[in-house]
Structure 1
Amino acid sequence: MGSKRRADYYDGPAHDYVSYWDGRDYEHAAEEVAIRKLLGDNMFEHAADIGGGYGRLSLLLRRYAERVTLAEPSKRQLDVAADFLAGHPEIERLQTQADDLAFADGSLDLVTMIRVSHHLPTPAVEFAELSRVLVSGGTAIVEVANVAHARNRLRYLLRRRPLPVKPVDIRSPENRHDGEIPFVNHNPHVVIDQLAAVGLRTVRVLSVSNLRSRTLKRVLPHRTLVALESFLQPVLAPLFFGPSIFLLLRKR
């Protein structure tokens, strides 16, 4: 098919994705907690971490799959991954884009796509690719940058406006130009319908990073914060409370 998306956003030296995670231990732990909850005791043959950057979550996937491929469009991120994953030669690295994945039809039984949807204003093609590469009955975890999170819902309520259905560009006005990285939030109900349209049925939802707050990070010990997060993820899921929604999907 051939990719139509630009893939070099994170190739520039200004985007140090490793340093981005400095001070974000809670967010990283919250995402690991969600993945563990969703995958449980299941084991898979071949997992792919789509748009996985330098392999931050690929290490966790290795606990659930005999074979893991970090599938990332940025060459620079893959070069960083070579060092980050140096002690894990069993994790493969592949330069490929989410809208044109270099995997055969039905060749994977687990795919994850975390912190990618916020770069995809129109993710239908990427969702179709996830479905294509999954075996029938295969599992996917897709994270949604959530426009319906609690603070936003209050804002729209105070303005007497309905929650948006279309993706919302959250970039500052000066960054809304060609060549700048897209950043959008999605309506999770719409995303669930889009995934269903390509044969990916939602079987479980978690609300993630529910306690994302500088103040809470300062006053609560990390272990306490993560324990509370773990408790709240399924409790707040029906409300789409957090800024990040994790969907467990099964291919029909």
Structure 2
Amino acid sequence: MGQKKRADFYDGPAHDYLRYWDGRDYEQAAEELAMRRLLKGRHFASAVDVGGGYGRLCLLLKDFADHVTLAEPSRRQLDIADRFLGEDPTIDRVQTQADDLVFADASAGLVTMIRVSHHLPDPAAEFAEISRVLAPGGTAIVEVANLAHARNRIRYLLRREPMPTEPVDIRSAENRHDEEIPFVNHNPRVVIEQLAAAGLRTERVLSVSNLRSTTLKKLMPHRFRVALERLLQPLLAKVYFGPSIFLLLRKG
């Protein structure tokens, strides 16, 4: 697969991913809604959460799998996971890179990769690894940092420019250097094609975090916003409205 990508950004003390989620209750709830909707009625012997940080979604995955593995490149995040997850024998923690997973071929029934794509300017190797690790007929959920969200579409329309097909670096000019964490947005149509090339067929799409807005946080009660989010996720999927797109995939 060529030169391996550096993916230990969250080892640094400046990146406290656990504290990042303080005040992001809506985003957490929106992602949990999407995961539960996509996995409803399914159960797996084993699930792998690729790039899962400190295990934020592993407790949810326990409801759908007998055994869950947190696959994370950052040693610091895995140390936090030990505290966050506790001594749960059904959740393993493994330090591994997403483009070179340590798991055997066809060893998992479910693989998830959430809030990772925005760190991957070229996700082809990661998609190939997800496909390799999945058993035939296995399920994956991949989240896409969406370039084609509603506000961006308006911006490109006003500039009379087509929506890019290549990933767009959203870092500020002063942060565009190798030492800073990559942050890109992807065109979801292109990502779906890339996943298909890796043998992962898209079965369902959800638009997620549709009401992500500082203003709405102040004006709209949390419970109402989450209830509205529940309605909007399938309705807005076809137009890729939200900043985050969740894809339900099947291998083969």
TM above 0.5: yes
Tell me the distance in 2 between the aligned counterparts of 1:88 and 1:229: 31
How many residues get paired?
A: 252
- Please say if residues 165 and 190 of structure 1, whose CA atoms lie closer than 8 Å, have aligned partners that are also in contact: yes
Tell me the distance in 1 between the aligned counterparts of 2:119 and 2:228: 29
Matched with 2:136 is: 136
- Please say if residues 188 and 245 of structure 1, whose CA atoms lie closer than 8 Å, have aligned partners that are also in contact: yes
User: Which amino acid in 1 is paired with 2:105?
Assistant: D
Give how far 1:143 is off. Answer: 0.2
Query: Structure 2 matches for 1:76-225, cutoff 5 A?
Result: 76-225=76-225
Tell me the distance in 1 between the aligned counterparts of 2:65 and 2:12: 32
Where structure 1 has 5 or more consecutive residues not aligned to the other structure, the ranges are none
Give how far 1:215 is off. Answer: 1.4
Give how far 1:7 is off. Answer: 2.1
Matched with 1:10 is: 10
Where structure 2 has 5 or more consecutive residues not aligned to the other structure, the ranges are none
Tell me the distance in 1 between the aligned counterparts of 2:217 and 2:41: 30
User: Which amino acid in 1 is paired with 2:124?
Assistant: A
Give how far 1:2 is off. Answer: 8.0
State the SS of the aligned residue for 1:30: helix
Tell me the distance in 2 between the aligned counterparts of 1:7 and 1:190: 23
| Poorly superposed stretches of 4+, deviation over 3 Å | none
Matched with 1:21 is: 21
Please give the root-mean-square deviation of Cα atoms over the aligned residues, in Å: 1.0
Matched with 1:61 is: 61
Change beyond 3 A, Cα 1:69–1:129: same
Identity of aligned residues (%): 73
- Please say if residues 72 and 78 of structure 1, whose CA atoms lie closer than 8 Å, have aligned partners that are also in contact: yes
Deviations 1:73-109 (A, max 9, x none): 0000000000000153321100001100010000000
The TM-score with structure 1 as length reference comes to 0.98
The TM-score with structure 2 as length reference comes to 0.98
Tell me the distance in 2 between the aligned counterparts of 1:134 and 1:149: 29
Deviations 1:51-85 (A, max 9, x none): 00000001100000000000000000000000000
1:250 aligned to 2:231?
no
